Amino acid sequence: MVRPRSPLPSLVFAFLFLGQFPALAAPPNEVIQDFPVGQPAKTSWKVHFAHGPHKALYITGAWFKRAANEPWMQVIYEAGLVELFVPYHTGSPRYYDLTGFAFDLVPATQADAGPRGTILDAVVVKEVRDRGIMWKDDTSGRRGEELVLWATLDAANYNYVIQYGFQDDGTITVRLGATAQNLPGRQLEAHMHNGLWRLDIDLNGFQHNSVMLMKHVEPPSGQSATDSALPFNNGKEGFADWIPSEFTELCVMHTQKKNGQGKNVSYDLMPMKHGVARHFEDFTRHDFWMTRYRSAERFYTQLPAYIANQESSQDTDVVIWCPTSMHHLPRSEDGRFVNGTWDGVALLMWSGFDLRPRDLFDTTPLHP
């Protein structure tokens, strides 16, 4: 048996000869991105990702640096889809597109990646993009940048694009898109695509996180408005609903870490909503769910059971669950029958949410 050589002598030699330790290879599932691209780093993301059957592409860790000389701060322990629930409007069929079968991720092509993207692990596309204007102040301004990781789930006739964006200002964008071919035999029947997400946000570590429900109240009888941030479900496991007039958001707050202005470091969960889907299934009746972290709790359909004891979930390790829904009302742009065969694909329809920092920085990042 040949024993593998210890790397220690090589490392010592490299240090003595080169004056530095050689960089150790990053894990294959790790991406580190400094911003601004091609300039001295001001902010940075370190992202770990994975993919697998019944999980598609998911994040297994994300850390942010708000300044080059600061240590990494954890934002995410694990985040991803845990189900894709697709009921058709006649009542049946009702599909579970993520867990229904061992669907693979589609091999990525250079056409997918575009002129500046790269393909990681054969199925994940990495892009570092200009994301448009980030701020303007009269004639001053700056364009923002983001790291994007995306992959495509092949769910038989449908494809789902799962995309995670990590912006230079610390924002994380989470997107789900549905595309490819309408259901054979039911191409013209409306249906709802519900992406069901599990977000284990560990802001600055797994301890000392609390979730607040943020709402805006402006009665039309007066001219003033009030905004509040109260403990989610009175500080216990439970659910809440998105109310459009209240601009409902969640705020995940670290109860101890503060920024330079003395405010608790937080992240806001800001949904992108075209509407709220409600179905017969009880796990679809609410827009936000929160549980304490329990490793065995992985199934969105079991949420009503998970919250039944309403355990206290303030200043602890919390998990947020939420849907992103797309109402698909078939249209000509999806395709048509040609000689009895369906011809055409549904253009991408997107849903998602943002996780945006609140009081992470001391002032405006990347300004002036």
Partner 1 sequence: MSFKLTSNESTSAKAIAERALTEKKLTSAYFVQAEVSRDKMAEQEGRAERKVVVTHYQIEGDLTILTTVNLAKNIAESVETIPHLPTPLSEEEFKMAREMGLADSKVKEALAKDIERVKVEALILRTVAKDDPIFGHRVVRLLFRIDRNYLNEPVVMVDLTTKKVIIENARR
In the complex, least distance from residue 51 CB atom to partner 1, rounded to whole angstroms: 8
**Applying CB under 8 A, what is the total number of residues that bind partner 1?**
45
74 forms part of the interface with partner 1 (CB under 8 A):
no
Could you say whether residue 107 binds partner 1 (CB under 8 A)? no
Position among 42, 72, 94, 129 found at the interface with partner 1 (CB under 8 A): 94
Least distance in Å: CB of 118 to partner 1?
Answer: 20
- Shortest separation between residue 248's beta carbon and partner 1, angstroms: 27
Q: Is 299 in the site for partner 1 (CB under 8 A)?
A: yes
User: Which residue in the set 97, 168, 237, 297 belongs to the binding site for partner 1 (CB under 8 A)?
Assistant: 97
Q: Rounded CA gap, 147 and 134, in Å?
A: 15
The 10 Å Cβ neighbour count of residue 280 is: 9
Distance CA 21, CA 361 (A): 33
318-328/191-201 β-pairing: antiparallel
285 binds partner 1 (CB under 8 A): no
The least CB distance from residue 242 to partner 1, in Å, is: 23
Contact in structure between 164 and 154 (CB atoms under 8 Å):
no
* C-alpha–C-alpha distance, residues 323 and 193, integer Å: 10
Binding-site member from 14, 36, 42, 60 for partner 1 (CB under 8 A): 60
Half-sphere exposure of 150 (CA within 13 A, CB side): 23
CA distance 81 to 299: 10
- For position 329 contacting partner 1 by CB under 8 A, the verdict is no
Among 6-14, 48-56, 169-177, 237-245, the segment contacting partner 1 (CB under 8 A): 48-56
What DSSP element (H or E) covers 47?
A: strand 43-52
Q: Does 83 bind partner 1 (CB under 8 A)?
A: yes
| Minimum distance from residue 40 beta carbon to partner 1 (Å) | 32
Tell me if the bond preceding 357 is cis, omega within 30° of 0.
no
Query: Distance of CA 282 to CAs 97, 98, 239, 319, 327, Å?
Result: 18, 19, 12, 19, 19
Q: Which residue's entry shows tokens 């301890």?
A: 207
Interface of this chain with partner 1, residues 110 to 169, rule: CB under 8 A: 155-157
* Residues making contact with partner 1 (CB under 8 A): 29, 50, 52-55, 60, 77-78, 83, 92-97, 99-102, 155-157, 181, 184-189, 206, 280-282, 293, 295-296, 299, 301-302, 317, 337, 340-342
